[in-house]
Structure 1
Amino acid sequence: MTRNAEPDGTRRPHVLSRLAPLCAAMFCSYLAISIPLPVIAVHVHEGLGLGTVMAGLAVGVQPLANLAARPWAGRAADRAGAKRTLMLGLGLACAANLVALASTAGGIAPATALAVLLVGRAVLGVGESLLITGILTWAVGRAGHGHAGQAMSWNGVAQYSALAVGAPIGMALFGAAGFPAVAIAAACAPLAGLAIVGALPAWPVSGGVRLPLHGVVARIWFPGMLLGFAGLGFAALTTFSSLMFAARGWPGGGLALTAFGIAFAGARLVVGHLPDRLGGRRVAAAAMSVEAAGQMILWLAPSPAVALAGAAVTGLGCSLIFPSLGIEALTAVAPQDRGTALGAFAAFQDLALGLAGPLLGGLMLVGDEATAFLVGFVAAVAGATICGAIRRRLAFPHPT
């Protein structure tokens, strides 16, 4: 085997060069989601004068719509092709942020503004489902056999780099020009993604008999369930970190997402190959333990510096959970069902994110602003314990 070669003989630089344009498209695409993410709750709670439950709902409706669209997105990627699926998702992401912009029209009542905003957030969730599923299906195919973990890891680097960059951009635009500026910037970002992928040749659609959706879900539900456990900590951070900073009078609320994104991307750059080499189950158990430590730091943080450290540790843990468990899910299906498997697998995280917004917002009524991170800590500990206790693969092998 040549130096720096992968187990199947493919050099790592060659794999990364094949993934580079899709990673660039992922970065541009996810700016449409990350730019408004840290300000949605603040806009609804303070700008519209509505409570934390409505703020959580405004954040949570997007992953719920993402969840509802996952079966369609997966089937679209398998049948119509990853490129067409991705381009449709990018178009919807642009349109969704324009709908959110419409919610800021002058003279509109807060309740009506919230209703229009929720429509935009729902459309954004559908667009996210299509573009994420399309990119990941395309990337796994381009990366080649034995590199599925790298394909997911490197696109995650692009995704959460966009989170790290987009969060402070959103906070800065919100502070300088209000929510309309945020919506306009988020609507423009997907256009760059369209320009990148439009020049790429489409990846061929795999042939063969496809499993029905329920058959795919039956094969990947266990790693999907563990992904949902891990998703609660991420939901707590993205939804309520800005509110925690604001409630305590701390500066730099948007930097919590930046710290998370930098740590997340950095970990994938350095150790993103570990799931392919060590196995998904082992790496996932360790990663969820690190996520739990980050959530505990956030829960007990006495200062903004400690809270930012907790966000970074959470990012380190979350970085390898999706590709580790994703490998376990993909081994359960044939190539022609990859898109459906990825969509169904990610749906478990979407479900956790969608339920976490209003649930954690309600818990804050009886606790304080850090209660969400206690829930994230308990969920991550539970996931790590279950994953570490299993001594077999997390998914059923596909029959030969």
Structure 2
Amino acid sequence: MTDVSTPTPRLITGPFVSVMATALVFFVYIGMVVVTVPSFVERELDGGEFGVGLTMASFAVAAIVARPFLGRLTERFGRRALMMAGALLASVATFSMAFSTELWHVMVLRGFTGLGEAALFVAAATLVADLSPANRRAEAASYFSVAVFGGIGVGPLIAEAFIGSNDDYSAAFLAAGVLAALAAVTVLGVPRRVDRTAKPAEGRVPLFQRAALAPGLVLACGMAAFSVFMAFAPEYSKSVGLPGAGGLLLVYSLVSVSLRVVAAKLPERLGAHRTVTIALTFLTAGLSLIALVPEPWALWAAAATIGVGMAFLYPSLMANVVNRVSEQERSTALSSLTMFFEVGTIVGGVALGAIGEIASKQAGFLGGALMALVGVAVLWQFVVETPFDGADGAEPTELAAPLPACDPV
């Protein structure tokens, strides 16, 4: 008898590419807002470093409050609907920022953009997991994050072009709002046939998945470190003689995106422990370099180093969580994990922002480096490797199988 092997499920499919396109457009918008808001708060509203931290925290708190419910909303209304609603909410809030005259205005509107970003990200990340073979989920997350962090890298350049030498923040906010609205249109390219999980959940799915706790704490430590770089780089770069942070963020993005493409399969081969340790070590090195060497060349080198770190932080943690839960729990697990993006942002924005205000931006950068080291300790002490961590070529299990009927491209 001749054995006929089952074909390996394809990863790159039409629906997968549609999700990537929507994420790219939306996170170009995010990249624009990320650099526009801190500069606007410091220069136009005289909010200082602490004011910048408060706007970051308002974004994060709103997203944290919403994320436990987003998993259920994703299952009830579908991934496409949640992605579209998130993009439209973010668009309206960002348009409104163009007319803000007080710090509290920006804080409230950043809260709404936090809700919008959380909704789109959870739904998109769930779709990516739905469409991916179980033993290629870290690879799929790497490609997804190419769109996410590629957009974040390009967005600042577009924002700085709109702001220009006249500090035209209104133009930057309006342009960003248009991009968020465009993301609500591109999501229509995701077919309805891949919009739901294959089977209804049995029983009541908890709002928070415990499988996401330890990986989430590690993610929060890394994001706290990264958020310091994103918040302080625009103004700090000018203090050392650079025209702005747009070029730095482009270098960071190019390095991160290139590694996510070239080394997309590396997380499965190395496993979560080794891959994430590499990520956090590079984050520590980059932030320490900025803090200790206030020279333009150090910022360029640090941007590339941080790019290496961020390339490997999320994919392994995402795969670790998804491979530990059932298909019906997938969206809730991802909403639980991605909640720690905002937990890290609060720590980086408020706590480390306060350090930057009281002491100096260099002290804030060192605080971020310390948070990355804390993440390494949590990783090795509490994160459990899953069967596909370091098991390149393993076959997917029935529990974690992707949705069928995806046309390969």
Task: State the 1:47 CA deviation.
Answer: 1.2
Worse-matched range after superposition: 88-97 or 279-288: 279-288
TM-score scaled by length of structure 1: 0.88
Looking at structure 1, the residues matched to 336 and 346 of structure 2 have their Cα atoms a distance apart, in angstroms, of: 15
Task: State the 1:382 CA deviation.
Answer: 2.2
Q: Does 1:320 align with 2:308?
A: no
Match of 1:135 in 2: 124
Looking at structure 2, the residues matched to 166 and 218 of structure 1 have their Cα atoms a distance apart, in angstroms, of: 34
Match of 1:3 in 2: none
2:18, 2:189 within 8 Å by CA — same for their partners in 1? no
Task: State the 1:394 CA deviation.
Answer: 7.3
Task: State the 1:176 CA deviation.
Answer: 4.6
Looking at structure 2, the residues matched to 60 and 173 of structure 1 have their Cα atoms a distance apart, in angstroms, of: 25
Match of 1:126 in 2: 115
Looking at structure 2, the residues matched to 219 and 161 of structure 1 have their Cα atoms a distance apart, in angstroms, of: 28
Q: Does 1:290 align with 2:287?
A: no
Match of 2:190 in 1: 200
| 2:331 aligned to which of 339, 351, 369 | 339
- The verdict on how the C-alpha distance between 1:286 and 1:23 changes in structure 2, with shifts beyond 3 A counting, is same
Match of 2:407 in 1: none
TM-score scaled by length of structure 2: 0.87
Task: State the 1:280 CA deviation.
Answer: 2.1
1:21, 1:197 within 8 Å by CA — same for their partners in 2? yes
1:78, 1:337 within 8 Å by CA — same for their partners in 2? no
Task: State the 1:275 CA deviation.
Answer: 2.0
Q: What is the correspondence of 1:1-400 to structure 2 with a 5 Å cutoff?
A: 9-11=8-10, 14-15=11-12, 18-103=15-100, 110=101, 113-176=102-165, 178-202=168-192, 203-206=194-197, 207-209=200-202, 212-213=205-206, 216-388=208-380, 392-393=384-385
Looking at structure 1, the residues matched to 226 and 383 of structure 2 have their Cα atoms a distance apart, in angstroms, of: 27
- The verdict on how the C-alpha distance between 1:219 and 1:210 changes in structure 2, with shifts beyond 3 A counting, is farther
Looking at structure 2, the residues matched to 102 and 331 of structure 1 have their Cα atoms a distance apart, in angstroms, of: 45
- The verdict on how the C-alpha distance between 1:362 and 1:391 changes in structure 2, with shifts beyond 3 A counting, is closer
1:45, 1:54 within 8 Å by CA — same for their partners in 2? yes
* Percentage of matched positions with identical amino acids: 24
Match of 2:3 in 1: none
Aligned residue type for 2:185: A
Looking at structure 2, the residues matched to 211 and 171 of structure 1 have their Cα atoms a distance apart, in angstroms, of: 47
Task: State the 1:83 CA deviation.
Answer: 1.0
Unaligned runs of 5+ in 1: 1-6, 104-109
1:208, 1:336 within 8 Å by CA — same for their partners in 2? yes
- The verdict on how the C-alpha distance between 1:237 and 1:211 changes in structure 2, with shifts beyond 3 A counting, is farther
Looking at structure 1, the residues matched to 332 and 384 of structure 2 have their Cα atoms a distance apart, in angstroms, of: 23
Task: State the 1:245 CA deviation.
Answer: 1.5
Looking at structure 2, the residues matched to 17 and 391 of structure 1 have their Cα atoms a distance apart, in angstroms, of: 34
Task: State the 1:212 CA deviation.
Answer: 3.6
Task: State the 1:18 CA deviation.
Answer: 4.5
User: Per-residue CA shift, 1:254-313, capped at 9, x if unaligned?
Assistant: 322222222111110111222233322321122211221112222223311211210221
Task: State the 1:171 CA deviation.
Answer: 1.7
Task: State the 1:210 CA deviation.
Answer: 5.3
Task: State the 1:36 CA deviation.
Answer: 1.9
CA RMSD, 1 decimal:
2.4
User: Per-residue CA shift, 1:142-163, capped at 9, x if unaligned?
Assistant: 2233222122211110111111
Looking at structure 2, the residues matched to 80 and 68 of structure 1 have their Cα atoms a distance apart, in angstroms, of: 19
- The verdict on how the C-alpha distance between 1:271 and 1:16 changes in structure 2, with shifts beyond 3 A counting, is farther
User: Per-residue CA shift, 1:34-56, capped at 9, x if unaligned?
Assistant: 11211212211111223221122
User: Per-residue CA shift, 1:156-215, capped at 9, x if unaligned?
Assistant: 10111111110111122112551100111111002322222213312242223255435x
1:223, 1:394 within 8 Å by CA — same for their partners in 2? no
